Amino acid sequence: MKSVLFLLLFISFSIVSFSQDDGFIPEDQPLKKEKSLNRFFWGGNLGFGASSDVVQIDLSPLIGYNITEKFAAGMGVTYQYYKDSRFINVKIETNIYGGRCFLRYFVWNDIFIHAEYELLSLESKYFNPNYTNANNDRFFVNSIFLGGGYRMMIGESASINLLLLWNINESSTSPYTNPVLRIGFNF
């Protein structure tokens, strides 16, 4: 099961579009009023992985708001389809869904800290080790991610984000294993 969860994380990519594309942000000041529409950004995670026995698809759109030039907040939804036929007695085919909210603060140039709360609905028979037929079919799992990242500019308005996060309340029912690595693109 750990390898399945690692596979989910490894092939998950973040595609986030930010209106802020300066490599260096000198001060933490509110943005000018005439640029209020530029405060919003959108994007999300888009991931796909497939082999002869495993298929994983991740679609997680988000929307955010640049509160200042260095500080942003946002929220999004998550949907993951997962199918695994590597096991003889168990064929896994499930849908994982939920939502998340996050905060991001640029501490120096393109280096930022990131905090995120995620609530996912998982299918009990695949993710709950205490599952019995009397249990509910689905249950919720909370994840709190803390970490940081680096934004590498690859053009005037495009960049690659590298994030290293830790799920500080990781449990046996969590679909993630620490650390969580995300690779994202900004446009």
DSSP string, 171-185: -TT-S--SSEEEEEE
* CATH code of the domain in which 133 resides: 2.40.160
The predicted pLDDT at position 181 comes to 79
The predicted pLDDT at position 166 comes to 93
The predicted pLDDT at position 33 comes to 55
Q: Which DSSP letter does residue 68 get?
A: B
The answer to whether 7 and 175 are in contact (CB under 8 A) is no
The predicted pLDDT at position 27 comes to 53
Per-block average pLDDT, block size 10, for the chain (187 residues)? Answer: 38 36 48 64 75 83 86 91 82 90 94 95 80 73 94 74 88 79 69
The answer to whether 35 and 8 are in contact (CB under 8 A) is no
pTM value surpassing 0.75: no
Structural domain that includes position 65: 2-186
CA-based nearest residue to 171, from 137, 122, 136: 122
The answer to whether 59 and 45 are in contact (CB under 8 A) is yes
Q: How many structural domains compose the chain?
A: 1
The predicted pLDDT at position 30 comes to 56
Q: What is d(CA 27, CA 18) in angstroms, rounded to the nearest whole number?
A: 18
